[in-house]
Structure 1
Amino acid sequence: MSESTAERRPRPRNAQATKALLLRAATAEFAEHGMAGARIDRIAERAGANKRLLYVYFGDKSALFDAVVRDQITAVMEAVPLPGGDLCAFAAARYDYVLANPEAGRIAAWRTFEQAGPTAEELESFQERVDAVARAQREGRLRDDIPAADLFAIVLRVTESWLSAPPALREVSGDGPSASAEAAAERLREHRAAMLAAVRSLAEPRS
């Protein structure tokens, strides 16, 4: 075999690296198109990998979407802790994470629309969060006149309120497409402060 032939032969790719590339490509594709609209060909092309490997590593498209959801849950759980049931710290971390990782919010939205039952990972992650809130309520650090699951659900939605606000509302408040980058950034800082004030008022114990 000549040296030129050896140079042209593609080097074997590490399986874990290929899986990671496919998972990142699938995350981008699902975030943009949802599970129904996503295309395996585009995912493989984004990853620069053979389409056959996607089926080898993940199975079908539904299983790949589940893998993306699991990956997102793991990332959010690591990046957005709920230390001691501190809902204000949680709200700040989650707002910052979703702002920096818009794909996470879009994957969560598609997940709600396109799949019915929760995964085991989702159940475990939410149970941990609700249990942390319930402990904080018992210890007198959070209001206890609202069930823990409801209190957590309300705070969860408050953290997303501006990021999922109607475009017209964002426009009239100075955070629309016509806003300068500086004005939009300042508006996001203002909303973050307002959001945290709302969470603090909502979650603090009642006398």
Structure 2
Amino acid sequence: MSTAGGRGPGRPRKLPAAEQRERVLSAACQAFAAHGRQGTTIEEIARLAGLTRQAVYEQFGDKNALFDEVVAHVEDLAYTTIAAQGAGDADLGLKPWARRNFATLFAFVAEHPEAKPILDEAERTGNPALTRLRARLAEVYTKASRQRWVAHGMEPGRADTALVTMYFAMTEALVGLSWDGPAPDREALIDLLTEFTVGGVLRLHRQSPDVIARVRGPVE
């Protein structure tokens, strides 16, 4: 026998608002990554979340507000995860530091495959979330890498901004590359990036220092 005010037989338990919100965000990430903002419906998100349409509306208002919330969530998650690695371990040398950060980017994409499609969709629909994320991360990485270049006798100046931009661009391209047949081992790609970037710039610094100097500009 049910008590007064309790749930009747078979009546589903109402989830706490925080759990509903978490479910909706997770479901919305899947849906927006797969179908974009225009192609996603509240009905699909509610079904994936195991909730009613009304519950989704109560949590986020409408689809556009929910999309903005998802984009902000993904941007913050990416920044927090990636920047923490870039700024950490001050005693780590240049090459192992760079390799670890390339590995972090690959791992983040593997663990959160919905993140890049959502950020790309945000850019297409007028929210420069990916551009903003790149700029925020570049600031962290530029500062951390500059300290390590100096240890190799190289004062990069503004060349460091160009180098960090190149690192991110190459990593994004490799992470999202469609291969003809099975993809190469991830560790091999990380080694390739590390040697091509850090090893390449160090060789350039030794053999053709004028190239870096022309980009660097005057050193204060």
Aligned 8 A contact 1:35 1:65 in 2: yes
CA distance, structure 2, for counterparts of residue 73 and residue 15 of structure 1: 23
SS at match of 1:160: helix
CA distance, structure 2, for counterparts of residue 105 and residue 38 of structure 1: 17
Structure 1 pair 16–27 and aligned structure 2 pair: CA distance change class (3 A): same
| Aligned residue number for residue 187 of structure 1 | 185
CA distance, structure 1, for counterparts of residue 128 and residue 173 of structure 2: 25
Match of 1:18 among 17, 20, 38: 20
CA distance, structure 1, for counterparts of residue 104 and residue 135 of structure 2: 16
Q: Counterpart amino acid of 2:205?
A: R
Q: 1:134: Cα distance to partner?
A: 3.6
Aligned 8 A contact 1:58 1:64 in 2: yes
Are positions 1:96 and 2:107 aligned together?
A: yes
| Aligned residue number for residue 168 of structure 2 | 156
CA distance, structure 1, for counterparts of residue 127 and residue 76 of structure 2: 20
For each residue in 1:130-187, what CA deviation from the matched residue of structure 2 results, as whole angstroms up to 9, or x when unmatched? 154146426725762544443322211211222322x4xx11xx42xxxxxxxx4x53
CA distance, structure 2, for counterparts of residue 135 and residue 100 of structure 1: 25
Aligned 8 A contact 2:36 2:118 in 1: yes
Aligned 8 A contact 1:44 1:51 in 2: yes
CA distance, structure 2, for counterparts of residue 30 and residue 36 of structure 1: 9
Aligned 8 A contact 1:40 1:51 in 2: yes
Q: 1:54: Cα distance to partner?
A: 1.6
Q: Counterpart amino acid of 1:160?
A: E
Q: 1:128: Cα distance to partner?
A: 5.5
Q: Counterpart amino acid of 1:206?
A: H
The equivalences for 1:26-105 within 5 A come to: 26-80=28-82, 81-83=85-87, 86-105=97-116
Q: Which moved more, 1:98-107 or 1:30-39?
A: 98-107
| Aligned residue number for residue 178 of structure 1 | none
Q: 1:91: Cα distance to partner?
A: 1.8
Q: Counterpart amino acid of 1:150?
A: A
Q: 1:29: Cα distance to partner?
A: 0.3
Aligned 8 A contact 2:28 2:67 in 1: yes
SS at match of 1:13: coil
Match of 1:196 among 169, 172, 194: 194
| Aligned residue number for residue 179 of structure 1 | none
CA distance, structure 1, for counterparts of residue 74 and residue 187 of structure 2: 25
CA distance, structure 2, for counterparts of residue 68 and residue 105 of structure 1: 12
Please, which runs of 5 or more residues in structure 2 have no aligned partner? 207-220
Q: Which moved more, 1:22-31 or 1:81-90?
A: 81-90
Q: Counterpart amino acid of 2:156?
A: D
Question: Considering only aligned residues, what root-mean-square deviation do their CA atoms show, in Å?
Answer: 3.1
Question: How many residues are aligned here?
Answer: 191
Structure 1 pair 189–96 and aligned structure 2 pair: CA distance change class (3 A): same
